[in-house]
Structure 1
Amino acid sequence: MSYQTSTQYSQQTKQFRGGEKKVMKKRLALLLSVAMAFSMFANVAFGADAAKTTQEKFDALKQQGVFNGYPDGTAGLDKEMTRGEFAKVIVKLLDLKEVHGVYSYKDKNYGASNWAAPYIEAVTAENLMQGKDLEKKLFDFNGKITVEEVAKVLVEALKLELPKDAQNNASAWAKEYFQAAVDAGLISKDANPKANATRTQLVEASFAADEALKGPKVESYKVIDSKTVEFTMSDKEVVKVTLEKALESNKETEVKFTHKNKEYTHKVTRVVTSAQKIESVTADNVKEVVVTFDGSLEQKTAENKNNYEVKDMKIDSVTLSSDKRSVTILLEENGSDMKNQKETELKVKNVRNEDGSKTFSETKKFTPVDVKTPEVKEVVGLGTKAFKVVFSEPVKRGDAVASSNYKVDGNMVAGSVDYMYPNVVIVNKDLSVGDHKLSVSNITDFSGLKSIPTDKEFTVAEDTSAPEIVSAKTNDLKELEIEFNETVKSIEKLYHNVSGNTGKITYKDNKVKVTFSNQMYNGDNTVYVKGVTDYSGNKADREIKVNPTLDTTRPEILKLEVKEVGALNNHKLVLEFNKKLDKDSATNTVNYTLKDRDGKVLKNSNGVDADGHPIMKPSYDEKDNKVTINLNSKLSNQTDYILEVVGVRDTAALQNTIAPWSQTFTAKQTSKTGIVRSWFTQGNGEQNLYVQFKDNMRTDGDGSVLVKEKYLFNNKSITDHEINMVSGDTVRITSKADKLLTAAEIADTTKDFALSVSQVKNANGDYIKNGDSYTLTYSGKLNKEFANSISVKNAKVVSRNEIKVEFAGKLNYVNVDDFYVTALGSSYTPSEHEQSNDGTVLTLKFNGDQTLPTSLSGGKLWVRDSVTTADILNVRVQAGETPLTDLDNVRPEAVLSSLSVTPTATTATYKATIRVTGDVKVDKPAEGIFTVEVNEGLKAVDRVTKVSVSSSDSKLLVIEFTMKNEPGKLISLTKDDFVNVKMRDEDNNVNKYIVDANVPTSAPQVAMKGFATTAQFTEKK
């Protein structure tokens, strides 16, 4: 193009050679698509790569073939560049195709022998450069390229928007092009536009354009959760990437994504310090369960075996790994073997992460897979008279102690074998100093797999020293663990301070635990270990100074369960504590009080006495730390109850006492039919009917839930259809060739469908009954009761902080963000939730600025359209609204500190005003529910004459009263008088004198709460 005058420019042709527009290659098209964002170019040129020197940028462009250096190897950054050289840079930068055999210009020496001609013709064909003199057809390939000429070429190539009224020192025709290049970060604003461009300026501009061509860079990333990462790009856009596979914690992982038609690969790491979730539950054998978390745990709760339940199993111990990220649950040696390759479940409860920000309480299903035979993991010589063998997994005692299963140097062991559950044996045998070979065979693990005969080399050294104490760790004043430097065979006597203070000793390799009969001192103690002997026969007396760490933590209640027992389904309350309890305090009835939802003591009903204490003495299970309160009575499921616990002590030396504890609960009621929910689906050529029971169900024997003959649906047998378990409590009936329902039946929204199931047992082997009948029933319309979503049955207001939501199904995953409440034109979002044991009730909690208002008139619970809360089969909760019930649980309240007592214009008449938390109205004359007292009765009040709400403020309650006359004078109030005003709650709650003004008159009225408070009389000034 011509850059000489604006007239020449206006006359230039806009057509491409041959009348056809040439199509740039894909690389240029991509550049043009992203070049519209000015800020991106600026960021690339002067942001992310500001640290690169011009030389480094030149080297990068040279490697791409865009620039060439000089023969002496230098970049010549201070030199200028010709128009022909610049044409080559543009061709290489934009990946244009060179044009051979075409010569459009008449410059001297321009032709087939001119090295620059293919590049000049290429930029001419793309209408990027067309010469200095269009009339004479001169390109001036040896002329120097100016800064403003460079600006125009790049701006045209990138199709940048031209600014209006550009003010700079460029030539008139170039002002807008130069300004556009500056704004885009291609050229410095301090450059002289009319000067010849230096190679430094061209390198900087070309590098910025090349970086834009490659697309924006990743500046940073943020891991939102294990499957979501947000990348912030150099163009300041944020790209949200959802992963198919969850990120592993603290492991670098490559993430691929596309942004602006470009593919990116970036390494990310999900950094987790304190655990936020359970990553996996695995079992490589039938005796150990490994629970892996995504971060670290608090050791105390992580190693408390009461915080775990493996279904139908008893736990021996729980060990936290050294990195505090996983626990290994060891089951008891006898009678607690999981079934190999059969799904079971683990409950984790009240395990806290290391910083205390999260407590884990959830259930995980897993399948033990034991396919490996036990192996010898380690052999350790214990002097010349014994050696220790450690196996890779728990092994059975009978095989482990059989000396015939061990050979040393080819000879069968004749000595005895000691077994330490789960995987350690000590073989007693005289051995010479030096190397030996152990052969082990016929060792069986608890799934029945036998070890493959293997040889293991080990070394025996002379041992002439008795065990030495390495450390001692206390647990309060009675329990002590001593660690020695080698395996201990026996101890003659172990006591503290005086010889009579002995205890029960247990051995586990090099660790010895003792539980003393008498407490150690709360201070310095000397622990004496008499005759500690190793397996070489070395014996010595040892002692260690111990200053016990006292247990100063109060006992806590981990969980309250409400259960039904007996033929009458009476209720019992089961409290699980976090530690051992003093039995007398745990079974003392006065430590437990049952109240109604308003906090009033239940008297002589529901299994309690006149003070609300259980009539029957509670029982205490020391093994599980559980207290059971049998009420021998049936609680109502139509109301809430409150259980209060005080005075329960632990067994620690200081007898720590529980902090006063209370919890509101709802009495569990067994489903009348035993069927929680049933739902119908169709698609992919099949129909499915799901049946969810209240319990996990039996799948074999006479009570099996998988016997088709036990089902009737729509008055038809299902024997021609498939039936399978999809979870422990849910059955799926599938129809392909023979349909469960016809199209007409599915379309009929008025038809009621009925399901019945007969003679089925739960997983415990008990028949589930419908009253006295063995037939369970469920009925309703297909688009309602049988719908493929979980409906909200009711949403009951508990308080301004809680709403209890009952669902027509069991929830497995809860996202609290799926729910919100609307009332009086505002919405409120819960911050946390609690779920009932059976998964059907969700308690939403509202705190801080999201606390519910004092009036919930017309309030509704909403489930958002994008709901993710679902059951174990990913059936979602039904979106929509549910009116709130029990609105009178949230009542306007008096602000006690706001009471003010002042005189009126009438002699001996006064008014007390008090602010209320919500709008109220006086619906009936309310004078009779108030009493006013002055100085505790020293001055007499005649009567309350009027109760009203201020005409200017519906949150201001006004109580007017008069003072009684005495013969000859009036009794007046002075500034020294204190006035007590009381409104009786019970009267107002029953008769609704003063009520929530926001409740329509046609709806049940919500009464203001009663109050009693005192204020000093204020005289008029």
Structure 2
Amino acid sequence: MKKSLSLLVAIAMVFSMFATVAAAATDTQSKYNELKKAGVFRGTGDGSAALENEMTRAEFAGIIARLTGVTSSGTAKFNDVPGSHWASKDIAAVAEAGYMEGTGNNKFAPSKNVTLQELIKVAVTIVGLEIDEDATVEGKAGAWAQPYIAAAIAAGLIQPLGDYTANATRGDLVDVTYEVYQVLQNIAKVKGYEVVSATKVVVSFSDGGKVEVELDKPLKLGKNTITVTYKDREYKVEVEFEAVAASAKAVGAKKIEVTFNQAIDDSKAKFAVKNGIAERVVDKAAFSDDKKKAVLELTTKLQAGETTVTISGIDKDDVVAKFTAEDERITQVKFKSDKLALSTNANGTPNYTEAKVGYQILNQYGEEASNVGTPTFQVGKPTTNVTSANGVLTIQVPATSPFYLGEKVIITGYLRLSTYGVTISETLEVGQPATVDSVEVKGLYHPDNKELNTGSTFSDYVLLLEVKDQYGNKLDASKFNNGAFVTVSNPGIFNVNTTATDNNGPNKDQVGIQLAAPAFTPGFDGKNTIRIMTLSGKQYSYDVEVKKAATVQKITLSAPSQVVAANDVTVKIPFVAEDQFGNQIKKYSDLVGKIVLSPTPTAQNPAGLQLKQDYVTKEAYIELTLPTPDPNQQIAIPYPIMAYVSGTPNTSQIVINIEKPAYPESISGLTSDVAASLAQGATTTIKPDYIKVKDNYGRDKKLADLLSANTHKVVVSVADNNPDVVSLSKTELANANDSITVTALQKGNERIKVQLVNKADNSVVYSYESFVFSVVDNSGIAEYAIDQVPKLSNKLNRQVDLKVVGKRSNGTTVALPLDAYTATASNGVVVRGGKIDASGFNGTFTDGEGKATLKVTIVATGETLERELVISNAALAVTSFELENANGLEAKDLVVKGSVANLTQNNDVVRNVFGTLKVKDQFGFKMSAAEGADLSNFNVTVANIDNVAGAAITYTNNGQSGDTVTVSGIDQGDSFSLIFVSKVSGASITLRVVAE
């Protein structure tokens, strides 16, 4: 059996006092003096070192406690060490640490002298030498001591002695303690810890090292002791764990800073923000290095109101932080420089009749604000013409009163806002014309964040720049082109378009340099340096790494997981394409033209395989168009398909069994939308969507599709042909919008028959007879209840359903007829036809809310149920959105897809896409245009444009009122995002628009 202690080499000098030749660097007295200065040793009563004296176990315990720094909050537990003993706490500390043990029978023998073998054991234990507990030694020693002595000898740390039981002198103790002291100075100590999560702790050490500890069991609230191994040494660390808490505040118009009370696992954190009544979309979250802070960037600006940040994924419960946000306020108009820069003439000479300076409109966070108007400026110089646009103030003067270098010009201005104004007054000095002074490279940009490799389309990549003049003003591409030039170190990797352009980057607002194809094809992989030199001699460089392109090496086809029926028309064929490294290739652009599929469709025979693109994900899929089905097919027909990689022998061939045509075969039941338990007089509805149909292969089919195709109908009847328990309003569902009302007549059970009928020959395809309506009378209802009533609005057309139900003794809910109860409400709230209407509320509103009492009296029992109603007089505001197909466009999962013709109909792309939005207020009702759901009540931003063919997509009035934003130049395969932001509530939705 072995006891792990560690640190073998570090203690090489510990036992040098036992060697035949002394190896101490200093004499014992000097060691004593140093240890005394360190507080380890203390002098005797007369102050001398008394090195020749022997030492008691109690004195030894004190030295060990001071040497190692161990302490105890209690007193020794040994029978012979009373709490009043001067060394009781030291003895307790070294015993708890495992450095010293008792002598047996729960005794410590504090007055007994320390022996050499005791000294050896304690020293070995402290510094951590590995021992073999079965080891023995020659020489006189206790059995318990021999493993420790053997370990010291085996390590070459001591010479064998004849007697280890002899008492040690204070001098012996000084020599050993000094060497242990030296070792301990080199052993790292726990400096601190950081709780990353309930299962992850990072422990830091005095030598700068850190250990990340993954725990098998989560930390408990309060104090925990964990074990960490560092440099082969085990440490017990007491960790305080507290529940994760967070605070939040606005640090920008669209930024929130969240501060945590401890480091969190940023890979698991998910943020949701609710500002007032609107949900805010978190665009990105940036964490600090210590993982204790996160700055959230929203897609829309915060508005005044309580704001809640909910963080999920970092604790068993969501962490919530709240703060009160305020509207963006313009606080300052500021010039970007203290200089008025002269313009230049066509030949590059200074134009002394025109000068410019950039200005900023800043909000309370020091950020530049947009769409807030243009300041009005006045210049303290006669006969001036002043214009301001796009953040630049231009001053023109006549040639008879030109500017001169160093001239002081007083400029005042004001920006008039809705309820206040902001002024500026500064004196600027006329300076030399603006030139390119600094260039900051912001990085390489690709709209899809594609990796750059030798197979890339280099023109899709743009190096983004921020260019400034000597006055700190941003310059556009034309100024950059006139003041700098660009080269590359290796045109064999790629070239650049030496003319920079504007409108680059994700928001189309940055200067960019477009990459170009290499000087020859194929180009090299490797590092290429883009060098930028200004005319003033400043140089900037940016290294771009081009990786060797992955090439398609292998393709493997698989059979579809479901049955392929002859009349399925098209089927997706699963496949895996791999590069030379074994990595999967999924992007359409990486596969098109590189794999060959067979059979290939033709105009005469459209059956076969095609590689197609998912325009949303940009991934490829293989679609098989099936041959024209034979209605008389009775057996599976094998259909071979093949794919191979161009220029390689790598092929994949499989045979798909095309089964006989599918047809609707059975009805498997009704959904829970059809109430099975009814009170007398109650009704429920059967609609096509509530009937579950399967085909002959067990696949789900939509009944509505069969009805729309006019191939089938559904006939519903009472199974016994005696409709005495329930009655049906009609017996057929012939089209997708049909419905049947079921009315409960009298107590009893009624089984119904639901038949799927082929309209071609009026034959019954399947008859389902397992659904039973259970009708109960009043005696069958054990209790009554009112379903939860949401908060009501006092605006028109905002009635909510009143749902009163019965409960049977087994808990089954029973649908009730409207005449089973009477309902009234106070303060002008009206209940009529199962609806609650609060538009006539005449009670008192307090903080925007009023109350009324709803009373429901059950007719059969006379029982009265009451519920408090809450009515809000808040203005209707956009809070959420749903998507619905409209204008020929398919809309779901935040993606709107349609043909170019449908997207661009009436030359109004934005309005066509907006038509797919069902705009809902805070009460869950769809809003009308008059109530705020008109496009003019939204700001619209076009972003993340991906042109794949044809003309470039262009737009106007980006970020402004939706009815003024235009988008044009759309071709098939193009995609872009439209961000709709309510001007009133700030609620937003981002839609990806795809032209198919």
Structure with bigger RCO (C-alpha 8 Å, 6+ apart): 2
Tell me which protein shows more strand as a share of its residues: 2
TM-score by length of 1: 0.31
